Amino acid sequence: MLEMSRPDLKSRLRQQEVFLLDGAMGTQLFARGVALGTCSDALNLESPEIVAEIHRAYLQAGSDAVITNTFGANRYALARHGHADKARQITQAGAELARQAAGDDKYVLGDIGPTGDFLEPLGSLKADELREAFAAQARGLLAGGVDGFIVETMTALDELAAAIEAVKSVRSGLPVLASMSFDKVANGYRTMMGVDVTSAVAKMVALGADAVGFNCGTATLEEYVALAQQYMAAARATGQDVIVFAEPNAGKPELADGEAVYKVAPDEFATAAERIRAGGVRVIGGCCGTAPAFIEAVAKRLK
Ligand SMILES: [Zn+2]
């Protein structure tokens, strides 16, 4: 048998008492002087050292896995920056950067985010072309050496399905984590497209996702803790042994000069993470506004 320096990601996710993902990439890029409106994904080719530095900072802070800088590296999102034909290069380079930083001991998740458009008839996307775009992204990530995939920040079930099916279609055998973005509404939580937690989890499980979660959104920390509990309940209701993960933002964004600003401190975030862990969620990271100091605070508290 082949000697591997790290157990496969799925068993680690299932067995490790607390498995830490990383924090935000986008807000960390801006913090390092990348201008708003820049194609973040193209930085994998144009400024790889900035991306690598962020990966290393999260690993030093205690992340067990880092997520590739390929959130918008599908050809629809890349087309808005004139890079539609570079999906393969950008995704592979993104995976290689994260792999180099993570070495043999830590894990790399290949990031697949939404296109920013909708499937027909609501939008202009055609289902087969959309699946092919996500599959191209998955192939690039796989070639760059990822340990698994994360389909994240989805708001529509049909686009979520297209992304998970596309990842499955490349037959890597690697696990896929699936995540949608929720906002707090009067009677619970909904994605921008009106999907509730129960429907999201049921769909992810039906599509064969290995872990189900939530990331981003506009909730407060308090509301993310409650959302995590709803996720656990929805996962149990499927009757299967489903892994749940949580990647809240650094609290509710406030607008300052048209920019989203996050004011929660690492310690407050760690307190929320502790409560999320107490509710049974063992795989935890952060989304927008979180930084290496947030992951470090969570690691100190939970590990
Ligand atoms: Zn986010």
Give the tens place of pLDDT for each residue, 82-91.
999 999 999 9
What mean pLDDT comes out for the span 31-35? 94
For ligand 1, the distance from its centroid to the CA atom of residue 153, given in whole angstroms, is: 7
For ligand 1, the distance from its centroid to the CA atom of residue 248, given in whole angstroms, is: 8
Sign (positive or negative) of CA dihedral 177, 77, 259, 67: positive
In this model, does residue 168 exceed pLDDT 70? yes
| Residue linked to tokens 């496969």 | 8
For ligand 1, the distance from its centroid to the CA atom of residue 241, given in whole angstroms, is: 27
Is 200 within 8 Å of 232 (Cβ atoms)? no
Give the pTM.
0.97
What pLDDT is attached to residue 4?
A: 62
For ligand 1, the distance from its centroid to the CA atom of residue 171, given in whole angstroms, is: 28
In this model, does residue 79 exceed pLDDT 90? yes
Strand ranges across the sheet with 243-247? 19-20, 283-284, 243-247, 211-215, 176-180, 148-154, 107-112, 65-67
For ligand 1, the distance from its centroid to the CA atom of residue 291, given in whole angstroms, is: 12
Other beta carbons within 10 angstroms of residue 234's beta carbon come to: 21
What mean pLDDT comes out for the span 233-252? 97
For ligand 1, the distance from its centroid to the CA atom of residue 235, given in whole angstroms, is: 22
Under the banding of pLDDT at 50, 70 and 90, the label for residue 183 is very high
- The whole-angstrom separation of Cα 213 and Cα 184 is 16
Nearest alpha carbon to residue 100 among 137, 31, 64, 146: 146
Q: What percentage of the chain carries pLDDT values higher than 90?
A: 95
For ligand 1, the distance from its centroid to the CA atom of residue 5, given in whole angstroms, is: 31
For ligand 1, the distance from its centroid to the CA atom of residue 2, given in whole angstroms, is: 38
Q: Please provide the average confidence, as pLDDT, over all residues in the chain.
A: 96
For ligand 1, the distance from its centroid to the CA atom of residue 249, given in whole angstroms, is: 6
For ligand 1, the distance from its centroid to the CA atom of residue 3, given in whole angstroms, is: 36
In this model, does residue 48 exceed pLDDT 80? yes
In this model, does residue 1 exceed pLDDT 80? no
For ligand 1, the distance from its centroid to the CA atom of residue 255, given in whole angstroms, is: 15
CA 35 vs. chain centroid, Å, equals 22
For ligand 1, the distance from its centroid to the CA atom of residue 13, given in whole angstroms, is: 22
- Determine which of 142-146, 172-176, 241-245, 253-257 has the lowest per-residue pLDDT on average: 253-257
What mean pLDDT comes out for the span 135-160? 98
CA-CA distances (angstroms) from residue 202 to 123, 227, 240?
Answer: 24, 16, 10
In this model, does residue 193 exceed pLDDT 70? yes
In this model, does residue 71 exceed pLDDT 90? yes
For ligand 1, the distance from its centroid to the CA atom of residue 124, given in whole angstroms, is: 25
In this model, does residue 123 exceed pLDDT 80? yes
| Residue linked to tokens 């990822």 | 146
